[in-house]
Amino acid sequence: MVMQGLEISGAEPRAGDGGALDALIDFYRAFNGRDLAALAANWADGEQPSMDNPIGGIRRGWPSIRDGYRKLFEGPARVQVAFHDFTSQGGGDWHLFVGREKGACVIGGTTIELRIRTTRWFVKIDGAWRQLHHHGSIEEPALLADYQRAIFGAPLAKPVA
């Protein structure tokens, strides 16, 4: 199902129906609020979850993913994003959202407008939707270099380890 016109920033009300869309809203509320405890409640526990994006690199397991968020949240950059132009499909115990994030990275008076292709995969664990995988990519090389410069001080010469 294509969710045209719908934008998820975390500020919208939850449906409260136990659906995966509420988990997606919870993720963006936690991320944009820089709330590690809420992110921990959103992601699957243990070593199963994975994340791959231009700032966090490839991370496997919630402890490594949490460390990536912590570094971003404790750094000087302020990143806010909203999910839009997405498709939504799933079954009884899995749900996949594929779309785009738009937002901004603000650091020291400079604002970088972000455009990120994004996939978020949720699974139902013990009756609750938990994020199992995230992939994000920036398809514009200059934007990617600017974003990495803002976060790391320079564009990356090699992938984040």
pLDDT of 97-146, one tens digit each? Answer: 999 999 999 998 899 999 999 999 999 999 999 999 999 999 999 999 99
Contacts 24+ apart (CB under 8 A), 42-50: 42/130, 42/131, 43/130, 43/131, 44/123, 44/125, 44/130, 44/131, 44/132, 45/130, 48/132, 49/131, 49/132, 49/133, 50/132, 50/133, 50/134
What is the rounded distance in angstroms from the CA atom of residue 142 to the CA atom of residue 116?
13
The predicted-structure confidence for 54-91, as pLDDT tens digits, reads as follows: 888 899 999 999 999 999 999 999 999 999 999 999 99
The pair of three-digit structure tokens given for residue 13, joined into one six-digit string? 């009300």
Q: What's the mean per-residue pLDDT of the chain?
A: 93
Nearest by Cα to 135 from 13, 12, 53, 36: 53
The pair of three-digit structure tokens given for residue 46, joined into one six-digit string? 């243990």
Is the pLDDT at 149 greater than 90, yes or no?
Answer: no
Domain 2-152 fold is Nuclear Transport Factor 2; Chain: A, (3.10.450)
Is the pLDDT at 161 greater than 60, yes or no?
Answer: no
Which DSSP symbol is given to 158?
S
